[in-house]
Amino acid sequence: MRALRILLVIVVVLGGIFVAVDRAAVYFAESEAAGRIRITGATIGSTDVSIKGFPFLTQVAGGRFDEVDVEITGIETATNGRRLRISRMDAALHDVKLADDYSSATAARATGTAVISYKDLTEAASDGVAVEYGGNNKVKVTGTVDMLGRPISRSVLSTVTLVDGHTLRVHADKVPGAGVPGLEGMVRQKTDFDREIGGLPSGLKLQRIQPTADGLEISVTGADVQLAG
C-alpha cells in the first residue's frame, strides 16, 4: 500500500509538471504567434492569439491545432486615396495546420466578426461628413453643401450594404428638400459613398453587414484561410 501511495504521488506530481510545462509552452507560442501575424497590403495595430485544446504539446508535435482564436485591432488599408480602418476583427480558426517550418499556418475554416467604428467610418467618408448610428439598422450621415454661396447642413438616414462581397456602400434613403433643383445631387455627392474593405487575411470573405450602436458589424467566414508569419 505504501508503494502504491508513493506511485500515485509521483504520478500526480509528474502530471502537474506536465500541465505546467504545457501551459507555459502555449503561453509562449501565443505570444510569438501574435507578434508574427502579418496581413498583405495592410497595416495592423495589435494582435492577440489564443490556442485552444489540451494538451498543447501533442498538437504541436502533430503540426495541427483544433482551434485558434485571433483578435486583430486596427487593420488599415487605403483605396483610391481614402483610408478605411477595421477597428477590430475577432476570428475563430478551426483545424489549423502549421507549415513544416512553422513560418505560416492554414485554417480549414473560419468564422468571425469585423467591426468598423463610426469614427473610422467618418474618416473614410467624404471631407466634412460625419457618420453616426441612426437607429433601426440605419446610419445617420451629416454633410454641408454650398447652395448659392450659403452653407447648408443636411442629415440623412442611410442604408449600408455590402456590394460584390468587398465594398461597403452608404446610400441615403431620401434627401430632405429633394424638390429644390440640384439640391439632392449636391447632398448625395457628400452623403453617398462606396469604400472597398480590404486588409483581411487571405481566404476570409465578408458575408453580411449591419449597423449597430457600437459600429458596423460585418460577419466573416472563410476556408483555407492563410496566416502569414
Signed CA dihedral, 76, 79, 84, 89: sign only: negative
Mean pLDDT across 27-34: 60
Q: How many Å apart are CA 196 and CA 169, to the nearest integer?
A: 9
More confident residue, 13 or 113: 113
**pLDDT score of 210:** 93
Q: How many Å apart are CA 49 and CA 156, to the nearest integer?
A: 40
Mean pLDDT across 174-200: 78
Q: How many Å apart are CA 197 and CA 200, to the nearest integer?
A: 8
Confidence of residue 131 (pLDDT cuts 50, 70, 90): very high
pTM: 0.79
Mean pLDDT across 30-46: 68
Starting at the earlier edge strand, list the strands of the sheet with 104-116. 43-51, 64-79, 82-98, 104-116, 215-228, 204-212
In this structure, are residues 88 and 73 in contact, taking their beta carbons and an 8 Å threshold? yes
H helical segments located in the chain: 2-36, 56-62, 118-124, 183-191
φ, ψ at 214 (rounded to 5°): -95, -5
Q: How many Å apart are CA 22 and CA 56, to the nearest integer?
A: 6
Please count the other Cβ atoms lying within 10 Å of the Cβ belonging to residue 4. 8
**pLDDT score of 56:** 66
